[in-house]
Structure 1
């Protein structure tokens, strides 16, 4: 009877709890077999991916600063810039094949790779059948849990990674005394050694000094180690138990006969900055790891948990989205996702995905100068897809589209700090590769702030030679100011960096035969044109995406210069060049031209839509001010269609939202949540979408789709530009009633909305600074005046 009663309690508790938190809990009824089924935790620096196994728990561990490589070598291709004149000459002569081939001389080394720290294995030695299995990730608490019954004993594991205490904690409990027996071991793909120090398991190791990208297959040693080079790491593991016995071997910790125990995991690396040798100028990783472990173990578990919940909750609880209650929460999350993919309604799953994006940003972006990478901070591979680097032609920027709108401005700082780093290396690149002033960034970067165009003189120009990364990144500097209105930040940090990017543009732009300013050479990220005589090429001049990004940067810079009352003559020069940029062109199909000429694309449905930058994430193509360009953008999206990769779908949802087409945006939001089988599973559901653990499927896993999708939810419900706020501009019909609180608008405003029957019912605006915003809803316009800290309800 006792066992039967316990099972009834569990069966009743799970649905009631999950129904109440259908938008904040991921849960599953079996352990993960593949990485794309794991539950991910992180404190913004340390990452963990949990499999939740019964007999054996496996946890992939990562640390945001553990990369291959070392500070970039200055001037790796000292004569590169000499090729620019030759390429321009080839373009003037319309010899596009020669221009493509010459681009290889404007290439340098590849970026380095984000490394897997290692795998913690906890062997529980269970035998026989286990029942009542359940594992969850609670987004509201940033905690994971695994529970099950084995041989009549109910076991529970709780996991979290604390930002304030810089520690990972796992609590093991059982409902019968002295029932917990387990051993801890560690493995890594990196060079490492384990030793026992007292009752601690200590691992010291180092990363390679070079890792070739996973798509380079002609190198005899793609991974290169040298004991005197590479970032060092230390991992410490310790068990604390009031009634169990802890014993050690040379490579394992063993816990015997415990009722409850806490496992502490402390990690540190020697990384000490993008320009510091991690061996000779690095931090003392072993001392740091020990200090964090010792401080954490002085505190009771409840204190560590409280510190974690308070810190995390202060960020996560700022925003609340409410759509429509769903009973689907009584199903495991992977089953919900499958049913949703097959057409089921589940508004709570749509909320869950939005909340998951916010959770992932909090969990992966709290390391100064080290932004979330292509996989956030979760990577199990030695040669991860695309090096798990900073891909600057969309992906690292998409990671941060919701940082400001979702009221997580502090989490923008790792990217903003990184921009300051890459501007330093980028000045050398500007001189060496382009013979210009200012700073520049190419297609890829890494923790060492690499800025050169990649390819090693053999990369395809369609991707390797793009050089607008610094221009795009610099728009984030202005965005942070636009939301915070922090003039000290603008004056001291953002403005000098923006000016450096503008300097590069002014030197790089040349005039075409009509006297318009264009870039030459230029490419449109990863896309290929077809000339009238049938040549398929990448190198042209005046690519629309180049000029769109430059337009946006120039407009941002002009506003910043006026606000700060600086550089009047320079500002006038920027205005003049801005006015003389080659204008947007509308093609014969009614589309926004991607190329200087109205040429066909090799792939009309290509995943990149960089020439629509001015619509989103830029602001100079708008429905009300440039309707013809907005319509041409719409036509472009219609031609491209909706079937694309995960991150690209995230971008297109935002583009449709900016076109005020909520139903089309929602259609693609649903498609973004299409179930995709794990990569190594022999399944039939493939393509872009969402894995069982809700991570984005490019495929493979790229986190930018998660961030782009979450950003798009806010963009559907609220948009802003300068001091103008648009309410429910792209509300889908299916989101008939709902509310959202805590989101941020440019100008320094916090917005809360409630709507019923697709009609706005309540609007509350709070000012972080004094201002006079214009509020627009359904064709109606109101101007209000707000003092700093004032909250008003706007009546319609």
Structure 2
């Protein structure tokens, strides 16, 4: 492996020297590239990250702009207002009985008004005038502007992200002089790295700008340090720039000035005093953390730091290889390619690029020890971003992690579980004060300061099912990895506590069934005595808890109770026009096109409804999907891809997937109502949200491989457009890894890898067979 990387670095250096004169035909696969600088952050700039920090670079000629955010930098929280109490409305549960009584009497309007008054979360206005009050919002940390000392018109310009190496690059020539920039985020070294090179000595000026208050800045021996704080809550932070160059480095007028340099390396670190500990969330030694990070770089060359990054990144990224067809338009700029694709150009390689780009974004944004991905991953350029750039728990947060297990990035899933553990204590308070139950909850909007209460508006803010849905991820991580230590120490405790809420909250209706009351189907419809999604999530959670008890051999009494409750939950029902009902009441409107299709949770990501075991319910889900239509926002389209994949309709799913890859909101085009991709292939909700990218990626995997029924199904929903192809490295539940090749839309060969002696079942079309992994760890599928 070391020899490989050494050779790779030598080869890359040669390519880098020739890149400015290389023709487009020499472009390698899996690159997003452009022939002009970005002019807009959201739609054109390109992302890099090291999981702790995310940055977007523009590739400007005279001035490079690198905007960056550090994931723990937030406004709001306990320091923002003396009455901050995690959104809790004390003793709100005392109104619950009356609300339920009104629902039983059919007085829905009165019940809703009382719930709206008494079951909303609490926020307070803050002195800084923040849009979200003391709930706060994720914050940009600022921008680094690098002015390059040259004049003239550029030639052979190229700006790119290379997914194979996890790096951004800029190449161009001015008056025969070559200029190159390399950008990457190193997770193991916890640093962002920017390298500027030129064929002749050049000057550079580096300036940091931030919207936050400056406390101090210093420059000493090539190290610039800026300390600041967030208005309103006083959150302290430090960002440092370590500069190495063969030129003269000085600090004048608030800028780092570099003269007569052929190269300039900038090592960028940042940290805050945020600490993920209830109730104060403050006290981290951020300066000490930055000092330790910078000390880890001492005595190491740029090449050594880059080699460590490559080894770390490629270890994850190279696990999955995907080929969907022979088409290849890598010699076309990505923005042009996106437009041509939307106009009907067949380009399977572009679809592969989108899939792998999502994996790149996950690797760059979510690694052990970091905060989990938020609505925009780790990429935010605002102090008042859309939806606070928070952790949205009624679909978005969960969708962000759908690709983690199946696309062989289990490690990237771990930050979500660490974060979930930090929510249990405040989540117990919210469960007690709003519903007088045991267990923990989290609702629609969640910040890193323990805000687990319902949001401050109805009906969108009310979603106590967030914890149950999150816990499905904990079970899935176990199911894919079969890590019993994780199940025992992390997953099961989270799941059991979340299940206690539902055991206490569900009440018996006139039919003797357990229902969720009151409940709202996420962001759609009115108050109900039973939104179907609540029942499906509670069933799924309890079912997973029961399976966990069996695996671990624990909690017999709890398991018995969980079985009794699960089996009494109001089941999915088929309504009067053949649809899967969204509520206990049969009131669905067949003309409604709402983006949320939450009542199909049992189909995906759940497993209560399958084509094989519950065909009538699966057909009803299809009726509901047809009624809702094929339009939607970015994440909504992505969820529909996964729904149709589970229904084994690959062509319908593929049609929706293609809608994710339509140009949206770019200059010269009309902003669409929703869905699509910007020219940098970030998903347009709009505006940009990362969930659509991740959901689309998971959908591609779901078309090729499914295992939620306990059987590994090969090519369960292969679209006819993907006539020939192969995939290597997708994961299946049970601890298995799959390799497949297909020709003329038929499986040609397949291998299942796993632990020696492990048994399982696989299915292709109507053939089902048992298998056992042999001593060499690879089972060859018999066709």
Range class of TM-score, shorter chain: over 0.9
Equivalents in 1 of 2:319, 2:96: separation in Å? 50
CA distance in 2, matches of 1:558, 1:549: 14
Q: Is the 8 A contact 2:731 2:737 kept in 1?
A: yes
Answer yes or no: is the 8 Å Cα contact 2:33–2:159 preserved in 1: yes
Cα distance in structure 2, aligned partners of 1:8 and 1:419: 47
Where do 1:196-211 residues align within 5 Å?
196-198=218-220, 199-208=222-231
Q: Deviations over 1:734-792 (max 9, x none)?
A: 10011111111001101111111111111111114742211100101110112687211
The answer for the alignment partner of 1:34 in structure 2 is: 40
C-alpha change, 1:43 and 1:493, in structure 2 (3 Å) is same
Does 1:170 pair with 2:194? yes
Deviations for 1:132-162, whole angstroms, at most 9, x for unmatched residues?
A: 1111100111101101112331111111111
Q: CA deviation at 1:723?
A: 3.6
Match of residue 93 from structure 1: 105
1:78 aligns with 2:90: yes
Q: 1:673 to 1:759 in 2, by over 3 A?
A: same
Work out which of the residue numbers 45, 48, 56 in structure 1 matches 2:52. 45
Match of 1:404, SS state, is helix
Partners of 1:196 and 1:251 within 8 A in 2: no
1:250 positional shift:
4.4
Q: Is this contact kept in 1: 2:328–2:350, CA < 8 A?
A: no
Distance 1:420 1:788 in 2: 38
Task: State the match for 1:182 in structure 2.
Answer: 204
Structure 2 regions of 5+ residues with no counterpart? Answer: 1-14, 79-83, 124-134
Aligned ranges for residues 16-27 of structure 1 at < 5 Å? 16-18=25-27, 20-21=28-29, 24-27=30-33
Alignment partner of 1:494 out of 491, 494, 499: 491
The aligned counterpart of 2:68 is 61
Deviations 1:541-585 (A, max 9, x none): 111111011111111111111112222222122212222111221
Q: Choose 154-163 or 784-793, whichever is displaced more.
A: 784-793
- Asked whether the equivalents of residues 235 and 268 of structure 1 are also in contact (C-alpha less than 8 Å), the reply is yes
Give the secondary structure class of the aligned counterpart of 2:239: strand
- For 1:576 and 1:143, how far apart are their aligned partners in 2? 53
Q: Aligned partners of 1:367 and 1:205: how far apart in 2? A: 27
Q: Is 1:107 equivalent to 2:120 in the alignment? A: yes
SS at match of 2:521: coil
Q: Secondary structure of 2:258's match?
A: strand
Please list the CA deviations of residues 409-452 of structure 1 after superposition, one character each: whole Å capped at 9, or x if unmatched: 11111111111111221111111110011111111112223211
CA shift, 1:470, in A, is 1.0
Deviation string for 1:293-318 (max 9, x for gaps)?
A: 24324210100000000000111011
Q: Which residue is equivalent to 2:170? A: 146
Q: TM-score, normalised by structure 1?
A: 0.91
Do the aligned partners of residues 182 and 675 (structure 1) sit closer, same or farther apart at CA in structure 2, a change above 3 Å counting? same
Q: Give runs of aligned pairs for residues 396-411 of structure 1, distance below 5 A.
A: 396-411=397-412
Match of 2:265 among 262, 265, 270: 262
Give yes or no for contact 1:371–1:414 (8 Å, CA) kept in 2.
Answer: yes
CA contact (8 A) 2:328 2:348 kept: no
Q: Which residue of 2 aligns with 1:740?
A: 727
The answer as to 2:140 corresponding to 1:116 is yes
Per mean C-alpha deviation after superposition, the further-off stretch among 513-522 and 257-266 is 257-266
- Distance change >3 Å, CA 421–CA 195, structure 1 → 2: closer
User: 2:684 matched to 1:660?
Assistant: no
TM-score, normalised by the number of residues in structure 2:
0.93
Q: Cα–Cα, structure 1 residues 496 and 362, in superposed 2: closer, same or farther, change >3 Å? A: same
The alpha-carbon deviation at position 17 of structure 1 amounts to: 3.1
Contact 2:86 2:451 in 1 (8 A): no
Alignment partner, residue 211 of structure 1: none
CA distance in 2, matches of 1:11, 1:258: 19
CA contact (8 A) 1:70 1:231 kept: no
| Closer, same or farther: CA 52–103 of 1 in aligned 2, 3 Å | same
Query: For 1:230-309, what aligned pairs fall within 5 Å after superposition?
Result: 230-242=234-246, 244-275=247-278, 277=280, 281-309=282-310
Contact 1:748 1:769 (8 Å CA) reproduced: no
Matched, 1:542 2:530: yes
* SS of residue matched to 1:731: coil
Preserved contact between residue 196 and residue 249 of structure 1 (Cα < 8 Å) = no
User: Is 153-162 or 123-132 further displaced after alignment?
Assistant: 123-132
For residues 663 and 683 of structure 1, the distance between their equivalents in structure 2, rounded to whole angstroms, comes to: 28
Per-residue deviation, residues 6-63 of structure 1 (Å, max 9, x unmatched): 9997587343332x41xx1000000000012011000111111000100011111111
Q: Please, what is the CA RMSD of the aligned residues?
A: 1.9
Whether 2:163 is the aligned partner of 1:127: answer no
Given the superposition, is the C-alpha separation of residues 404 and 769 from structure 1 closer, same or farther in structure 2, using an over 3 Å criterion? farther
Aligned length: 749
Residue of structure 1 in register with 2:564 after alignment: 576
**Corresponding residue for residue 12 of structure 2:** none
CA distances 1:175-217 after superposition (whole Å, capped 9, x unpaired): 22x1x21100011122224523213222111224xxxxxxxxx
Query: CA offsets, 1:658-699, max 9 Å, x none?
Result: 000000011011111111124xx5641423110100101000
Structure 1 unaligned spans of 5+: 1-5, 209-224, 529-537
2:58–2:65 Cα contact (<8 Å) kept:
yes
